């Protein structure tokens, strides 16, 4: 094998677990963020529905 490639592979392979862990952490953080945004959106939609009902009820009276 080419000595340059051997040197590159010996450098990259030991750091692979750290790279994999970094990607995993980024994906977990992204997933948690998306879940939080979706939960907030659902809460906001529920509040908007209540406000629309209150406005409709007030306009009928």
Sign, CA dihedral 12-13-14-20, equals positive
Q: What is the pLDDT of residue 61?
A: 74
| 4-42 residue pLDDT tens | 888 887 877 777 889 899 999 999 999 999 999 999 999
How many Cβ atoms are within 10 Å of 23's Cβ, its own excluded? 10
Confidence (pTM): 0.67
SS3 per residue for 4-52:
HHHHHHHHHHHHHHHHHHHHHHHHHHHHHHHHHHHHHHHHHHHHHHHHH
């Amino acid at each position: 094998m080419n000595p340059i490639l051997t040197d590159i592979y010996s450098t990259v392979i030991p750091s692979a677990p750290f790279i994999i862990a970094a990607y995993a952490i980024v994906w977990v953080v992204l997933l948690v963020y998306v879940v939080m945004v979706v939960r907030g959106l659902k809460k906001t939609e529920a509040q908007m529905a209540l406000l629309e009902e209150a406005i409709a009820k007030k306009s009928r009276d």
